[in-house]
Amino acid sequence: MTKLNYKGYAENLLIALNIFIVFLLLFGNDVVIPQWLQPVGRLHPLILHFPIVVLIMAVLLEFFRFQERFKHEKLYQNFTAYLWLTGALFAGITAVMGIFLSKEPGYEGSTLELHKWFGVSVVFVSSIIVWGRNTTWYNVKIVRSAAAVSIIGLVAAGHFGADLTHGANFVLEPVWHPAANKVPVDKALVFRDVIQPVFESKCTSCHNPDKIKGGLMLIDEKSVLKGGKDGKLFDAGQPQISLLLRRIHMPEGEKEHMPPAGKPQLTEDEAKLLYLWIKENAGFQKKVIDLPLNDSLRQLSAGVLKPAEESGDQYDFAAVDEKVVKKLNNNYRSVYFMGKESPALGVNVYGRNNYGPKVLGELSDIQKQVISLYLDHMPVRDPELKNIAKFENLRNLNLNFTDITGSTLKDLAPLKHLKTLSLSGTRLNPEAVKQVGMLKSLNKIVLWNCGVQPAQLAELKRANKNIDLIEGFKDDGKPIKLNIPQLKKNNLVFANALSLQLSHPINGVEMRYTTDGSQPDSIKSLVYKPGIVFTQNNITLKVKAYKAGWISSDVVQFDFHKSTYTPDSISFVKFPSYQSSPQRAKSLIDRELGSSFIADGKWIGSQKDIAVYMQFARPTDLKSITISSNQNYLPSELEIWGGADNNHIKLLSAVKPKASLNRNSGATESIECKLPVAHPESCLKIIVKPKKGAPQPGKIIQSPFVFMDEIFFN
């Protein structure tokens, strides 16, 4: 019987592989890989490490082959020969698989070509060594040259392969990362200098000209607008239904989550930048400084950009500690750095009913650092301008719709750096116009809707030619649209009774409202008057403004929730799979509602049941329990369990909510579960079940998911 020559078979197979590789290199553009063969190509990343290790071992052993101690050692010679044959054979198989894989959509470009040619060069060189190492011309010089070429080919092929898989500079990134050339904030474009760097750091490793995964490139404006094989990347102004955000906020274990699991994920600030950019219509040419000073996108952008280079704002004061700034922030006051490397601070104040002299008095430790003060709609009076003048480096002061009359504007004269003063909506007296001239540093003043007569404005212009006067709207006889009504108190959750307080910046406006879900009109709907009180559990208030000679406003909706009781403790029995809130279970009873953006830090969601356990220090008579859910991700069922303790609880009530008709709105929806009779309970367990069924397109995170942001007890 003839003994099988396995080595001979392997050498013949190696010859066949080399011929096949040459054929693919010469005629590859005309070759179409059938679908049933594509899995073979996708094994390329799986087995490529084996020939690399074997060939490196063969190279090392080949270096010592001609030494006297090994030259006649048969075991050494045979072992090295088999290493070369095995390495070359598997290198050839890996190369064929790689060429198959490169025929799939999404692989092209110069990096792919370099990876391919260095890879096949390793096959050719190692094959030549296999066939020639026992010939007379094969000597020490050739050994070392061939070994060097093999190592160079392996390193180069590995480098370009890593770039294809993980992005440019993947190998050297931990030790060599050139400093980013930050753009000054006054020269920066929102997309080019803020959004595009996010794509470059987290997305373009898979979405570039060399690797167009999903048919998508993210290298410039044109490619971003084009989208990929799944359609356009975003809907301008509608982040809640945009594909980009849907993929980002999928659970990391999901197949379509981006970036893929194992790759660097977007930070919270990066995800918020993308959300805000899309929400503000995803412009490509808008400058950062064109955004309002208090705009969230501008504030986040300032954190990744350099301060303005030639703005004239060369501050001679030191920065305060970030802990001090953080301590001064609360629900009615926002204190923030104007730039990542800037010592300057901005202050925004909210909530008219919470305002008082102490709001500014508490800022004494940072008076030197504040350059922007936003007091819009606050009850600021003339005497308080002396306190504002203590912010010696103030550049921008917003006093729109305050109680200022202008009689004491001269008190702001000590502010040597004040550039912009906004007084829109205030009722200025004639004395104010005269005092503007005392503010020598001022170069812009906004006086829209201030009751100042045209003759006084003309006098102001003549006397202060260096000041840019913004007068606002000029009546051309055509009706204009009213602003939407505003809520004086921003607290949407109340304990016992809600005293409704609405306002409108235009005098003489009639506000009409409904609470039954219908659209308010100018005839049948109730007219808002101060003193209206609501006591029901869940209130959906729709309001519209009307005035003769004006176009009525858009409808604005406010959802109020009553929560009479608050548990003394709360914890998860079954943990959710998605949790954007850092407070965990406590976020469900903090009386702070989430927005339509489910990654805003308030929402808790899961593809499985969410079970929450609560305890009251004293038995509490409960008549109903309500959860606030997202209309896109409503539960299939809500169960309420209760009892004296955890070991003695029973099912009290359950409800199956109807599907929302307003799909993809991202709005919240209240789901109330009424108890048959008032139950004095000490312990409660609430189980929220997601819907079952196929995934639904057009959502930030696909079903079956349930999301909730708050629980109300009454």
pLDDT in tens, 517-555: 889 998 889 999 888 888 888 888 999 999 887 889 989
Question: 185 near 288, Cβ under 8 Å?
Answer: yes
**Residue 697: its pLDDT value, please?**
45
**Cβ-proximal residues to 384 (8 Å cutoff; 6+ apart), any chain:** 357, 360
Per-residue CA distances from 353 to 43, 347, 491, 520 (Å) = 66, 18, 11, 27
Peptide bond into 704 cis (omega under 30): yes
Q: Could you give the CA distance from residue 451 to residue 473 in angstroms, rounded to a whole number?
A: 13
Copy the structure tokens of residue 714: 């009454």
Q: Is the pTM of this model over 0.85?
A: no
**Residue 577: its pLDDT value, please?**
65
Report pLDDT digits (tens) over 312-359. 456 888 888 888 888 888 877 888 887 666 788 988 887 777 788 888
Does position 236 have pLDDT exceeding 60, yes or no?
Answer: yes
Report pLDDT digits (tens) over 200-215. 877 877 777 666 777 7
Q: Could you give the CA distance from residue 435 to residue 415 in angstroms, rounded to a whole number?
A: 14
Instruction: Assign residue 630 a region (left: φ > 0; alpha: ψ between -120 and 50; beta: otherwise).
Output: beta
Mean pLDDT to the nearest integer, 271-296:
81
CATH H-level, domain 312-470: superfamily: Ribonuclease Inhibitor (3.80.10.10)
Going by C-alpha positions, the residue among 86, 98, 120 that lies closest to residue 11 is: 86
Strand, coil or helix: 642: strand
CATH number of 569-713: 2.60.120.260
pLDDT classification of 122: cutoffs 50, 70, 90: confident
Copy the structure tokens of residue 334: 């926002």
Q: What angle do CA 364, 369, 375 make, to 5 degrees?
A: 70
Going by C-alpha positions, the residue among 198, 341, 195 that lies closest to residue 267 is: 198
Angle subtended by helix axes 6-27 and 74-102, to nearest 10: 30
Residues paired with 605 in a beta bridge: 578, 707
How is residue 240 annotated by DSSP? G
Residues paired with 498 in a beta bridge: 534
Which amino acid belongs to residue 280? E
Mean pLDDT to the nearest integer, 554-579:
84
Residue pointed to by tokens 């044959």: 85
pLDDT classification of 366: cutoffs 50, 70, 90: very high
How is residue 585 annotated by DSSP? G
